[in-house]
Amino acid sequence: MKITELLDLVQNKISEGVNQSMIAKALGVTRQTISNRIRNNSEITISELEKIQDFFKVKLISDAPVSDGMVQVDYYPEVFASCGNGTVTFSDEKELVEFHKSMLPDYSKSKKYSMICARGDSMSPYINSGDKLIIEHWENNQIIDNKVYVFSYKSEIFVKRLSKNLDEIIIKSDNPNYNIRVIKGEDMNDINIIGRVVSVLRSI
């Protein structure tokens, strides 16, 4: 759900007017943060919806099954993929977020999706530091040349464009200030592809 949709929904649920300061207080953030998120029309997470429900004493999250046009995705707010020189951040903490299927190209119920965060500037302007990445999980299919993947290499998590030749994997950044890297031979065994980036949610 978009934050602008949330404002309309809460307004329809209660008799009094709803403003940015009230939403900010409910979420424990500043009014400017809410203003920025409205300007960017950012997504609201399930945990944020729960806070809004508790604050306004209204029911916003339906107990009914997810509608045909929506899909729920596991979001790992403490897992970061590096757009730079690598990062090591693993966490089992997750929450459910909901998106319309149109945000997931070639969506299939048989595929697994999750969302993590990006850190660094090597994939700018396509991915900026702080953006959220929706990943279609890897199923041992072929690398599609020049698509963006999240992968681990020697215990570090990266997000880069990949291309594969017979005996090497080429790792490229969108930011021209970063060099192309080539992984060959036995080092290829150290690459574990987590999934392909299918959607990017811009940070505020």
Q: What is the DSSP string of 101-152?
A: GGGSTT--TTS-EEEEEEESSTTTTTS-TT-EEEEEEP-S----TTEEEEEE
Q: Are residues 12 and 106 in the same domain?
A: no
Q: Is the same domain home to 12 and 77?
A: no
Residues 119 and 84 grouped into a single domain: yes
CA atoms within 13 A on the CB side of 191: 26
Q: How many CB atoms lie within 10 A of CB 7?
A: 19
pLDDT in tens, the chain (204 residues): 677 777 777 877 776 678 889 889 999 989 898 888 888 767 777 678 788 888 888 876 655 444 567 888 888 887 888 776 655 455 667 888 887 777 787 888 888 899 999 989 999 989 999 899 999 998 877 898 999 999 988 878 899 999 998 889 999 999 999 999 999 988 888 899 999 999 888 765
- CATH of residue 35's domain is 1.10.260
147 and 189 part of one domain: yes
Q: What is the pTM of this model?
A: 0.64
> Smallest Cα–Cα separation from 198: which of 140, 126, 128?
126
41, 2 contact by CB (below 8 A): yes
